[in-house]
A and B are shown apart, each in its own frame.
Chain A
Amino acid sequence: MPVLKVENLTKSFGRTHVLKGVSFDLCEGEVLSVIGSSGSGKTTLLRCINQLETANSGRIIVGGRMVFDSSSEKKLTKKEKRENQLQIGLVFQSFNLFPQYTALDNVTLALKSLAKNRTDFRKNRKQIHSEIEDKAKSILMRVGLSDKFYSYPCELSGGQQQRVSIARAMALEPKILFFDEPTSALDPELTGEILKVIRQLASDSMTMVIVTHEMAFAEAVSTKVIFMDDGVIESCGTPNEVFRENPSDRLKEFLRKYE
């Protein structure tokens, strides 16, 4: 049973048709890299799946829950939509950390807000908060930021900020983690530290979807590659199939730009 199932997804902005029928599955523990030239619809695909944009038609099933279904009349409540959204963590290209909070508070903010719904929150508030903080600290340690708990985003390098934002997404224990070009806002010498964290997550069998322009990395880390071209999936398969065995002409042309 796949953890993510996308069927025939379409999306247009006004007259621009950005997604023209996209379908794919993703199983637990898989790492999917999405590649393709600028404007091919990669970001739009991610944003439609986690409901930052509403697709025009198709179906999206995440963790067995129908997240989007254009054929059904039933409207999701705000609460259901939020619960659906929490199944997917998103790491933005531009980090989008909350500047007024420390690294630690960035990671704990959502957890603390969620904890307010617990029935025992009033009684055990202190204990719940300290558990959340311990958890956040251990995640920050996993991404190599054990000495930056109390730093503000403006005091961190781009690579460190992006690692905080990965920690922030991981804290909610999403079923899938999305990365939209996690390294393209970084200086080249900082991309390595982010790729290392993603590699480590992959070896912990975190399910991930990564939009990236790092071809070598995509080939090395993923179990599956999708090449998007002009709103459709042009090729799809294991890295070996897509890059080596029978790359299509479009893909060859695209890859030439990275040589």
Chain B
Amino acid sequence: MSFFEITLILFQGFLVTLRLFALTLLFSLPLGLIISFGSMSKFKLFSIPTKTFVWIIRGTPLMLQIIVVFYVPGMLFNYPIFKDDRFLAALITFVINYAAYFSEIYRGGIESVPKGQYEAGQVLGLTKTQTFFKVVLMQVVKHILPPISNEVITLVKDTSLIRVIAIVELINAAERFIAKEALLWPLFYTGVFYLAFCGILTLFFNFVEKKLDYYKT
């Protein structure tokens, strides 16, 4: 097999990685916000279950969660719901897991805005909504950007965990060359894909952080 052919096959795997990455962000970023509202709620009925949930998700390995989501429904109902769609099982796990992490980041960001900012909005006659969107939001975004970029870059590499349920993502695609062709180097070669992609993300986040650098809180 030529280098080019191997690159193409690895790229197929990388597309699966990318798809999981993009869809996870698409759903977990907003879901995290909802969870953070739950855990900041004054009502114990909301906050306690949410906090327990976040504790469980953050306190167990993502790999274990993937296995649980994929196998346990089948064991409970004697019917494998994800039989034909391993990717869906992985995606659901990733969305829940990352939403839990994002929710803690959002909570930190929202709580970092001093009470005086809300009070200033209030005495200036702004409504609660106006205060949130015109005063608070930008400060939250600035505050959470570094931890969010950290999580996003971790996510790129976490995608490789889904090979525990035999999904052919980038690493898994490379591992197949060991068995079939007795080639080890494609596995090392996957590092280039991860590095390049994380490099692009880093540049992007640096750019956005620069954009928000015009003021300090």
Contacts and interface: CB of A to CB of B under 8 A. Distances in A.
A54 interface: no
A100 B138 contact: yes
Contact of A172 (B114, B124, B138, B216): B124
Contact of B117 (A78, A96, A109): A96
Nearest to A86: B125
Contacts of B217: 99, 154
Contacts of B112: none
A50 interface: yes
B124 A109 contact: yes
Interface string B117-138: 1011011111100100011001
Contact of B114 (A78, A83, A96): A96
A153 B215 contact: yes
Contacts of A113: 125-126, 130, 134
B214 interface: yes
Contacts of B216: 99, 154
A76 to B, nearest CB: 14
Interface residues of B, number: 21
Given A82-B127, A85-B125, A152 B215 contact: yes
A19 B200 CA distance: 59
B117 A172 contact: no
A201 B143 CA distance: 38
Contacts of A172: 124-125
A114 interface: yes
Interface in A43-65: 50, 52
B124 A110 contact: yes
Nearest to B216: A154
A191 interface: no
B59 interface: no
Nearest to B116: A96
Interface string B74-99: 00000000000000000000000000
A88 interface: yes
A169 B138 CA distance: 22
Contacts of B120: 92, 96-98
B122 A85 contact: yes
Nearest to B138: A100
Contacts of A137: none
Contacts, number: 59
A114 B130 CA distance: 11
A52 B122 contact: yes
A5 interface: no
A4 to B, nearest CB: 16
Contacts of B130: 113
B116 A98 contact: no
Contact of A152 (B116, B122, B126, B214): B214
B117 A110 contact: no
Contacts of A168: 124
B215 A100 contact: yes
A232 interface: no
B160 interface: no
Nearest to A47: B119
A92 B67 CA distance: 55
Interface in A166-182: 168-169, 172
B134 to A, nearest CB: 6
A100 B130 CA distance: 15
A90 B122 CA distance: 10
Interface of A: 50, 52, 78, 82-83, 85-86, 88-90, 92, 94, 96-100, 109-110, 113-114, 152-154, 168-169, 172
Given A94-B116, A109-B124, 14 more contacts: A50-B123, A52-B119, A85-B125, A86-B125, A92-B119, A98-B117, A98-B120, A100-B138, A100-B142, A109-B126, A110-B125, A110-B126, A154-B216, A168-B124
Interface of B: 114, 116-117, 119-120, 122-127, 130, 134-135, 138-139, 142, 214-217
16 contacts: A78-B127, A82-B125, A85-B125, A90-B123, A94-B116, A96-B114, A96-B117, A97-B120, A98-B117, A98-B120, A99-B215, A100-B139, A110-B125, A110-B126, A113-B125, A169-B123
